[in-house]
């Protein structure tokens, strides 16, 4: 049986019994307060306009959301780390904007757990497309994001997406394209099975060279 509350001018609200056996309780406050629903996948928004979802979609919670990291200027140092990534994260987008180094080493991306960064177990390839030639570089001790001896003056922009496939297995896909000079474009794809829960990512290069231009940030969800 369903109960329909008809609006005074237009519209209506329908209260419908569950399709399967069970009990749903709607508690109305005696004077003032909130309406509580039990046996339902519903929770109060954490703030006005926010709908909280769970990490696996089965229940509602305020933890699952898209979070932007703090952009880091890639103008110094040989590596840039983004740490304290929550355990519920299933996808990470790494964003490069006009990034360059002072050398010609491959650009690397490494994943890490609470025990440190993985230096082996990366599987896949980076494909370099340039005006003069094409080449392929296999992943081994890192995900290779830019390969083929990029110019020290080249500026790279693009996104690399990391997705949690199952357990501690992560897959990667994305591309970085040069903004000037040789127009070097790199496509990358691969996977790695980490020894534990992912908590951090590191952007560096093979030698390693020193970053000297641009900025890098991440989104996680």
**Which two structure tokens, joined as six digits, stand for 120?**
């082996």
pLDDT per residue as tens digits for the range 98-125: 999 999 999 999 999 999 999 999 999 9
CA 91 to chain CA centroid, nearest Å: 3
Give all domains of the chain, ordered by start, each with its CATH number: 2-37 (no CATH), 71-220 (2.60.120)
Confidence of residue 22 (pLDDT cuts 50, 70, 90): low
Residue 221 CA to residue 219 CA, distance in Å, equals: 7
Confidence of residue 10 (pLDDT cuts 50, 70, 90): confident
Confidence of residue 167 (pLDDT cuts 50, 70, 90): very high
Please state the pTM of the whole predicted model: 0.73
What is the predicted pLDDT for the residue at 35? 54
Does residue 208 have a cis bond before it (omega within 30 degrees)? Answer: yes
**Which two structure tokens, joined as six digits, stand for 168?**
């501690």
Classify burial at 210, counting beta carbons within 10 Å of its beta carbon; exposed 0-12, middle 13-18, buried 19 or more. Answer: middle
Averaged pLDDT score across all residues of the chain: 84
Confidence of residue 21 (pLDDT cuts 50, 70, 90): low
pLDDT per residue as tens digits for the range 72-94: 999 999 999 999 999 999 999 99
What is the predicted pLDDT for the residue at 184? 81
**Which two structure tokens, joined as six digits, stand for 99?**
């990034």
């Amino acid at each position: 049986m369903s109960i329909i509350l008809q609006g005074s001018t237009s519209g209506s609200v329908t209260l419908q019994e569950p399709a399967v056996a069970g009990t749903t309780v709607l508690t109305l406050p005696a004077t003032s307060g909130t309406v509580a629903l039990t046996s339902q996948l519903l929770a109060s928004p954490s703030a006005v306009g926010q709908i909280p979802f769970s990490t696996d979609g089965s229940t509602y919670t305020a933890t699952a959301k898209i979070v932007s990291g703090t952009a880091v200027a890639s103008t110094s140092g040989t590596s840039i780390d983004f740490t304290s990534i929550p355990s519920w994260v299933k996808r990470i987008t790494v964003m490069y904007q006009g990034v360059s180094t002072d050398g010609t080493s491959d650009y690397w991306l490494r994943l890490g757990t609470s025990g440190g960064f993985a230096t082996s177990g990366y599987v896949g390839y980076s494909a370099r497309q340039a005006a003069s030639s094409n080449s392929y570089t296999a992943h081994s001790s890192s995900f290779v994001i830019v390969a083929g001896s990029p110019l020290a003056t080249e500026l790279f922009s693009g996104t690399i997406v990391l997705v949690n496939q199952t357990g501690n297995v992560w897959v990667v896909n994305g591309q970085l394209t040069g903004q000037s000079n040789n127009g070097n474009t790199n496509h990358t794809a691969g996977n790695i099975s980490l020894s534990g829960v992912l908590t951090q990512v590191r952007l560096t290069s093979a030698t390693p060279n020193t970053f000297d231009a641009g900025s890098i940030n991440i989104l996680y969800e």
